[in-house]
């Protein structure tokens, strides 16, 4: 038996309205910049071979610089709905049954539970490469042309450059060996991160009840 635990999210009522206002007026109130002397790698993944777990071409992009801008960026708290009751642990501890593993305790299989998520809207990333790195990306992108479902993995960024599942528009700037990725085609929030906390952090003291400890 399997199930999908539900969570409630505390999303401000006017959040999407603020985000779309920023987008329509070309406002990017949030910006992150970073650079690395460690190489960035690109995987050239055909969707069919990706599903089969086949090894895909793996290329070094060399060092890089990245600038990410967002029309919206928000941390949203999560609460489990009708399946997680911290009070249970006050009386039963972290063992489901006698001599069972410590599932919900430290180093247990279920020691963490999602507590908040990071949502982004209208994401724009400019990535600058070395000349060799840019050429490697250019060649990998050319191999995806007219191939439905073909994807590229640029570091941890999964790129579907065309077709019904396209998730980024790609602009190549040959003069500066840079690319710009943007999500203007997607009119919904992008999930970019999850915070989790230990289940044991929900417990304050067996004699006084439980406490929901925020980050």
Q: Tell me: the pLDDT tens digits for 79-92?
A: 888 777 766 665 55
For the segment 66-120, what is each residue's pLDDT rounded down to a tens digit? 899 999 999 998 888 877 776 666 555 555 666 666 666 667 777 788 889 999 9
Q: Which two tokens stand for residue 49?
A: 């071979």
Pairwise pLDDT comparison (199 vs 173), residue with the higher score = 173
Question: For the chain, what are the domain ranges?
Answer: 7-210
Number of H helices, E strands in the chain: 4, 13
The alpha carbon of 176 is separated from its chain's Cα centroid by a whole number of angstroms, namely 28
**In which band, very low, low, confident or very high, does the pLDDT at 48 lie, cut at 50, 70 and 90?**
very low
pTM over 0.75: no
Report the percent of the chain where pLDDT is more than 70.
68
Strand partners, 78: 9
What pLDDT is stored for residue 155 in this prediction? Answer: 73
What pLDDT is stored for residue 51 in this prediction? Answer: 33
For residues 119 and 103, what is the distance between their CA atoms, to the nearest angstrom?
Answer: 29
Asked whether 180 and 191 are in contact (CB, 8 A), the reply is no
What Rg value do the Cα atoms of the chain yield, rounded?
A: 22
What pLDDT is stored for residue 149 in this prediction? Answer: 62
């Amino acid at each position: 038996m399997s199930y999908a635990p539900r969570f409630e999210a505390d999303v401000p009522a006017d959040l999407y309205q603020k985000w779309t206002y920023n987008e329509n007026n070309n406002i990017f109130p949030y910006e992150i910049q970073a650079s690395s002397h460690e190489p960035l790698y690109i995987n050239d993944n055909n969707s069919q071979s990706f599903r089969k777990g086949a090894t895909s071409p793996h290329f070094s992009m060399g060092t890089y610089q990245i600038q990410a801008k967002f029309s919206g960026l928000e941390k949203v708290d999560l609460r489990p709905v009708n399946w997680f009751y911290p009070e249970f642990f006050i009386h039963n501890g972290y063992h489901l049954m006698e001599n069972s593993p410590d599932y919900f305790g430290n180093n247990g299989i279920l020691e963490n539970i999602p507590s908040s998520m990071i949502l982004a809207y209208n994401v724009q990333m400019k990535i600058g490469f070395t000349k060799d790195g840019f050429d490697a990306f250019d060649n990998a992108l050319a191999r995806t042309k007219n191939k439905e479902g073909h994807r590229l993995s640029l570091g941890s960024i999964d790129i579907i450059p065309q077709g019904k599942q396209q998730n980024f528009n790609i602009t190549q700037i040959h003069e500066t060996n840079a690319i710009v990725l943007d999500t203007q085609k997607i009119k919904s929030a992008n999930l970019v991160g999850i915070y989790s906390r230990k289940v044991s952090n929900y417990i304050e003291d067996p004699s006084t009840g439980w406490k929901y400890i925020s980050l």
